[in-house]
Amino acid sequence: MPKRKLGTCGLEVSALGLGCMGLSANYGPAGNRQEMITLIRSAVERGVTFFDTAEAYGPFTNEDLVGEALAPVRDQVVIATKFGFDIDPRTLERRGFDSRPEHIRLVVEASLKRLRTDRIDLLYQHRVDPNVPIEDVAGAVKGLIAEGKVEYFGLSEAGAHTMRRAHAVQPVAALQSEYSLWARDPEADVLPTCEELGIGFVPWSPLGQGFLTGQVEVGMTFASSDVRSRFPRFTPEAMKANQPIVDLLGTVAARKNATPAQIALAWLLAQKPWIVPIPGTRKMHRLDENLGAAAVELTPDELREIDSAASRIEVQGARATGREGYI
Q: Which residues are catalytic?
A: 57
Burial (CB count <10 Å: 0-12, 13-18, 19+), residue 115? buried
Kindly list the distances between the CA atom of residue 244 and the CA atoms of 211, 227, 255, in Å, as whole numbers in the listed order. 11, 23, 17
Cα atoms in the Cβ-side hemisphere of radius 13 Å centred on 14: 27
Residues in Cβ contact with 207 at an 8 Å cutoff, skipping those fewer than 6 apart: 180, 213, 261, 264, 265, 279, 290
Kindly list the distances between the CA atom of residue 324 and the CA atoms of 173, 176, 188, 311, in Å, as whole numbers in the listed order. 26, 17, 23, 28
Separation between Cα atoms, residue 23 and residue 64, nearest integer Å: 12
Dihedral of CA 280/321/221/215: which sign?
negative
Phi, psi of 268 (to 5 degrees): -65, -45
* Count of CB atoms situated within 10 Å of the CB of 179: 25
Q: How far is CA 127 from the centre of its chain?
A: 13
Phi, psi of 4 (to 5 degrees): -140, 150
Burial (CB count <10 Å: 0-12, 13-18, 19+), residue 295? exposed
Kindly list the distances between the CA atom of residue 28 and the CA atoms of 92, 201, 229, 267, 278, in Å, as whole numbers in the listed order. 17, 28, 10, 29, 20
Kindly list the distances between the CA atom of residue 270 and the CA atoms of 86, 124, 267, in Å, as whole numbers in the listed order. 37, 24, 5
